[in-house]
């Protein structure tokens, strides 16, 4: 089963529909047993870091998500689903994350002329071949976020994006892969990354 983790955040149905477009049935679930039993897991999300972690804890979802990742089973984090992987987020105070990756999540500090949130289409400079393919540097992906991850270990950075300076826009470790952008909203370029994960 492909499980899409439901912790009360939006955007779940659009991720499910993207999977369906690729010929894969994915189940939206907040059942800890179903999350624990999923062959592949997608953690999407929008909203605030602290609120997201509170919902994950309240629904008993933290342990099965972390166990899935530690077992090196296929995992795809999207937007907030990337940020929650880190040790802490600094949105409205300090909030503990899932702690799967070392580092934190901070608000953009940008030079004049750059708006926060970073919203719209942008490119990614990839490290290696995400999903076993070589994306073109001219491919665009859809972003909407005011905070970004700062990994402590540069080895987990799979992609960077320029917006008033470079920031981490994708991470990879083993069979864990996560993007700050929304692949389900990024047309063919984003769907190709989801397709690689689902296959």
Strands 95-96 and 86-89: antiparallel
Among 19, 68, 79, 145, which one carries the catalytic annotation? 79
* Closest C-alpha to 93, from 140, 50, 155: 50
* Closest C-alpha to 137, from 165, 116, 111, 160: 160
Give the pair of three-digit tokens for residue 65.
């998500």
Is 19 considered catalytic here?
no
Is 182 considered catalytic here?
yes
Give the pair of three-digit tokens for residue 168.
């981490």
Give the pair of three-digit tokens for residue 30.
């907040």
Beta-carbon contacts of 100 under 8 Å, excluding residues fewer than 6 positions away, are 66, 69, 70, 85, 86, 176
The CA-atom distances, in angstroms, between 9 and each of 29, 56, 113, 171 are 12, 10, 31, 21
Is 145 considered catalytic here?
no
Among 68, 118, 145, 182, which one carries the catalytic annotation? 182
List, by residue number, the catalytic residues: 79, 182, 184
């Amino acid at each position: 089963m492909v499980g899409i983790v439901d912790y009360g955040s939006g955007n779940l149905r659009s991720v499910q529909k993207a999977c369906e477009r690729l010929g894969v049935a994915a189940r939206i679930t907040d059942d800890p047993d179903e999350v624990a039993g999923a062959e592949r897991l997608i953690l999407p999300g929008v909203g605030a870091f602290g609120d997201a972690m509170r919902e994950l804890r309240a629904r008993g979802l933290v342990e099965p998500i972390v166990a899935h990742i530690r077992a090196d089973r296929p995992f795809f984090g999207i937007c907030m689903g990337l940020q929650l992987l880190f040790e802490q987020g600094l949105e409205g105070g300090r909030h503990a994350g899932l702690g799967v990756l070392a580092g934190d999540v901070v608000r953009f500090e940008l030079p004049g002329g750059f708006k926060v949130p970073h919203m719209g289409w942008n490119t990614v400079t990839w490290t290696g071949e995400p999903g076993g393919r070589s994306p073109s540097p001219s491919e665009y992906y859809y972003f909407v976020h005011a905070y970004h991850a700062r990994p402590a270990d540069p080895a987990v950075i799979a992609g960077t994006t320029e917006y008033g300076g470079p920031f981490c826009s994708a991470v990879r470790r083993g069979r864990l892969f996560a993007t700050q952008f929304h692949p389900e909203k990024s047309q063919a370029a984003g769907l190709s990354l989801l397709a690689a994960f689902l296959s």
